[in-house]
Structure 1
Amino acid sequence: MSGFPWHRIFHPLCGADPVTLLRLVARHGPPSVRGTPAYLVALATSLVRLPFTAADLALEALDPTAIAPPVFIVGYPRSGTTHLHNLLAASGAFATAPPVLAAMPWEARSLAPLAKPFIDPYLPSTRLIDKVAMGPEAPTEDEVGLANLGPGSYFHAVYFPRRFSQTYHEGLAGPTDEARRRAIHRYVAALGRRARERPLLLKNPAYTAQVDLLLDLFPGARIVHIHRDPRGVFASSRRALRRTMRELALQDVPVGEIDSAVLATYPPVMRALREQSAQLPPGRFAEVSFESLTTEPRRVLQQLWRQLDLPAPPGAMDRIDAHLRQVAEFRPEGARLEATDLGRLEAAWSKELALYGVPSAAGTG
């Protein structure tokens, strides 16, 4: 059943509330003729869910969720955050957000747990962008839920791409407002009850330039940053955005804006990350490279466990080894960058290439 493209009917925005859906149209314009049916399904779904939404709001007001300091994985999109997320989650040391609960943050206590067994069989078996295997319990990116809690998500650049460059940049590198703070707190609180004495393990590329905000909202949180050779980031971002918008965009896709948006957004995101993490003690912040993680996963992960004093239940590394065996045959897609692309990167990302570049990765994605 998961082979059918259900996302074209039941868009990820089916977990959004009516106000968010209407505000997105007011801000970005109406969906195209092709995107209108999926938008209307999402709007209808939001109205049907309203009693459960209200119930969750009441429950949270009466019995607020206590939030233990989470572990956050950050890194610019296509830097390897998912691979690191899956490896750490495989240890069994952390609580994570499965797809259905992540996509329904408004009803995390009420409807989402009831709906999950019915929705799980219809989930895709692999991600749209890169064929990475996923399942009903796969750790899911926070932005899936945050995009349904209000405006300000870089996912909205994919869903409503009429103003792609601006929305993408604002969602990843722009300043955060009070609405975004509330959305992040609500999302993490919605998952807090899954923790059961384990810290939440959450990942979101959109948090990369928001480390200060995370530590303000969740004192004691630990941050892991994963970086990748910028040439690989660029090639993979271009490919992933084109594929994702082909499937999920509710408006016509301005393909010509993708490269310039990525070129303009990467440097300020990485600069903000460096500035905000510079004074953090070793026990609160750690960095790994995607290249080292793929070639020496055991060494990198053991060092990460020591740096951040992560919980280590019995058999944690054995479970990680089992996951590594399961994904041993997977190979990331490569893509040779043209000389003109490499020239643009050298001009726009000279500092990032010096800091994060890997000589053997030159020209590949």
Structure 2
Amino acid sequence: MSQKKNSKKGVLLPPAVGYSFHIVLKLISDNKINFKYYLRTIIILIVNLINFPFRTYERLFINPRFKNINIEKDPIFILGHWRSGTTHLHNVLSQDSQMAYTTTYQSVFPDTLFNKLGRLLFKGFATLLIPGKRAGDNVTLGSSLPQEEEFALGDKTPISFYYFWMFPTKIPEYYQRFIRFSGIKEKQLDKWKNEYKLLIKKAIKNTNKERFLSKNPPNTGRVKELLQMFPNARFIHIHRNPVEVFLSTQNFFNKMMPHLQLQNISKEVVDNHIVQVYKDLMSDYLEQRDLIPKNHLVEIKFDEFEINPIDEVKRIYSDLGINGYQEALPNIEAYLSSMKSYKKNTHTIKESQMNVLKNEWRFSMEEWNYVIPNNISIVKDE
């Protein structure tokens, strides 16, 4: 989709507007909300309450219909850090007419999907409010476009790493609890897995496609759990130069967090969290990577995908044994030709930050043979 048509202004609200009311109340009661975000919190509660009868109807009368429906084709999980090209890869592969996905609307209102009146009201509401582009990177947004399912995974079971957008001071704690599942009881984890499968079934039905294609960066550290759910799932890991990842994440958080947060946090603390989360996520992935059966994983470099997307897509289909490449190729080529190509900007990074990355992220740079990019300028600390 051409980005020229998607410049409309909008308002981003935390996805808690579509959550179970008891989940919202628990999040509010368990966390400190700064005064400046009280109005945003009240808006969340109001929208959530208006949505209550619609999502309750769907849970009682529509969701049970999916209980005995099987997920026929093994899902494909795109893994990788948030700023490693996962969105671009997801959008490209979603051009294949067999690929189902969670839409932006479903990610926010996962249980107001097939209730006709509720969908009419809230999809219209979402379409009106969603900006044409994402503030952090100008990626095109739309209620029916592919989205990460992590937003919806915290809907009924209190397990979602993306609670951090509202409560960023808890990023380290949320990583341990919601990606490593530390302290999560087995019964609660089983409920999360069942809710995940329900989400996938509803996404397949909603998009009228056959095979679920996931793009959910927190899953990069959950390979073991995903294989427990889907032993024959396919995995695509896309990685990018860690220095570029740091700067891109820093910029993305600075631009996105003000729209979603309910508590204050300094940029210095956010930077520290960025360093730690990347280190944990890549370490967890490398530790679990060998659990994936042979020929069920392909790893690609963001730079190579950016330069030769068709060759890399062909390799993905071939290496993972996915049918339908030739049929999907015209749509993929049309999508790629509609996208603007951007020259890389020259970025600067403080010498102290670079030293931290060299120390903390060295293992990742060595694993995938990365060096400091030529477009990065290192400046002395003031």
Conservation of the 8 A alpha-carbon contact between 1:16 and 1:42? no
Q: 1:229 to 1:309 in 2, by over 3 A?
A: same
Contact map agreement 1:173 1:268 (CA 8 A) in 2? no
Question: Partners in 2 of 1:138 and 1:333 — Cα distance?
Answer: 27
3-state SS of 1:286 partner: strand
1:22 maps to 2:25: yes
Are positions 1:110 and 2:124 aligned together? no
Per-residue deviation, residues 143-195 of structure 1 (Å, max 9, x unmatched): 22224344332322221224344335644455465154344233223323235
1:12 counterpart residue number: 15
**Counterpart position of 1:100:** 105
SS at match of 1:35: helix
Aligned to 1:129: 136
Query: Aligned AA for 2:102?
Result: A
Partner residue in 2 for 1:85:
90
Of stretches 246-255 and 56-65 in structure 1, the one that deviates more from structure 2 is 56-65
Residue matched to 2:35: 33
* Stretch deviating more after TM superposition (344-353 or 90-99): 90-99
- Please, which of 259, 262, 268 is the counterpart of residue 271 of structure 2? 259
Q: Which residue of 2 aligns with 1:302?
A: 314
Q: Which moved more, 1:225-234 or 1:311-320?
A: 311-320
What is the alpha-carbon distance in structure 1 between the residues aligned to residue 180 and residue 302 of structure 2?
22
Indicate conservation of the 8 Å contact 1:96/1:139, yes or no. Answer: yes
What is the CA distance between 1:314 and its match in structure 2? 5.3
Q: Retained in 1: the 8 A contact 2:346–2:375? A: no
User: Identity of counterpart residues, as a percentage?
Assistant: 23
* Secondary structure of 2:324 counterpart: coil
* CA–CA separation in structure 2 for the residues paired with 1:332 and 1:150: 41
Which residue matches 1:66? 70
Conserved in 1, the CA contact under 8 Å of 2:94 and 2:101? yes
Q: Does 1:288 align with 2:287?
A: no
Give the 3-state SS of the residue equivalent to 1:200 in structure 2.
strand
Amino acid of the residue matched to residue 252 of structure 1? N
Computed over aligned residues only, the root mean square deviation of the Cα atoms, in angstroms, reads: 2.5
What are the superposed Cα offsets for residues 105-127 of structure 1, whole Å, 9 maximum, x if unpaired? 12232256433245324321111
Contact 1:158/1:248, CA 8 A, preserved across alignment: yes
Q: Structure 1 pair 43/190, CA: closer, same or farther in 2 (3 Å)?
A: farther
Matches within 5 A, 1:199-238: 199-238=211-250
Q: TM-score, normalised by structure 1?
A: 0.89
Q: State the one-letter code of the partner of 1:296.
A: N
**Separation in 1, partners of 2:53, 2:30:** 26
Per-residue CA deviations over 1:6-30 (Å, capped at 9, x if unaligned) read 22xx44321112111111122222x
Alignment equivalent of 2:329, drawn from 317, 320, 323: 317
Greater mean deviation of Cα atoms: 295-304 or 280-289: 280-289
Distance in structure 1 (CA, Å) of the matches to 2:150 and 2:373: 28
What is the rounded CA distance, in whole Å, between the counterparts of 1:186 and 1:255 in structure 2? 37
Range moving further from structure 2, 290-299 or 348-357:
348-357
Name the counterpart of 1:158.
165
Q: In 2, distance between residues paired with 1:36 and 1:244?
A: 18
* Counterpart selection for 1:144 from 142, 151, 156: 151
SS in 2 for 1:106: coil
Cα separation, 2, equivalents of 1:137 and 1:150: 24
Residue deviations 1:331-360 (CA, integer Å, cap 9, x gap): 565522222221111111111110134336
Larger displacement relative to structure 2 (36-45 or 221-230): 36-45
State how far apart, in whole Å, the 2-side matches of 1:239 and 1:36 are.
26
2:362 and 2:56 map into 1 onto residues whose CA distance is 50
Describe the shift of the 1:5–1:35 C-alpha distance in structure 2 as closer, same or farther (beyond 3 A): farther
- Secondary structure of the residue aligned to 1:278 is helix
8 Å Cα contact 2:345/2:375 also seen in 1: no
Q: How many residues align?
A: 362
Structure 1 unpaired stretches of 5+: none
Query: What is the TM-score when the length of structure 2 is the normalising length?
Result: 0.86
Q: Does the CA-based 8 Å contact 2:344-2:375 persist in structure 1?
A: no
Structure 1 residues 81-90 or 103-112, which shifts more? Answer: 103-112
The residue matched to 1:322 in structure 2 has which SS? helix
Q: 1:209 to 1:156 in 2, by over 3 A?
A: same
Deviation sequence 1:52-90 (CA, Å, 0-9, x none): 222222222254243232211111121110011011012
1:287-330 Cα deviation digits (max 9, x unpaired): 11111101111111101010112231654112111111111334
CA distance in 2, matches of 1:307, 1:273: 20
Residue aligned with 2:221, SS: coil
Tell me, yes or no, if structure 1 residue 190 matches structure 2 residue 202.
yes
1:344 to 2:348 alignment: no
What corresponds to 1:55 in structure 2? Answer: 57
Bigger Cα displacement from structure 2, 151-160 vs 179-188 = 179-188
**CA deviation digits over 1:179-228, x for unaligned, max 9?**
54344233223323235452011110010010111121233221111111
Q: Give distance in 1, aligned partners of 2:53 and 2:340.
A: 45
The CA distance in 2 between the partners of 1:174 and 1:152, in whole Å, is 9
The alignment partner of 2:236 has SS state of strand
Partners of 2:169 and 2:315 in 1: CA distance: 44
Segments of structure 2 that go 5 or more residues without pairing to the other structure are: 1-5, 378-382
In structure 2, give the amino acid aligned to 1:91: D
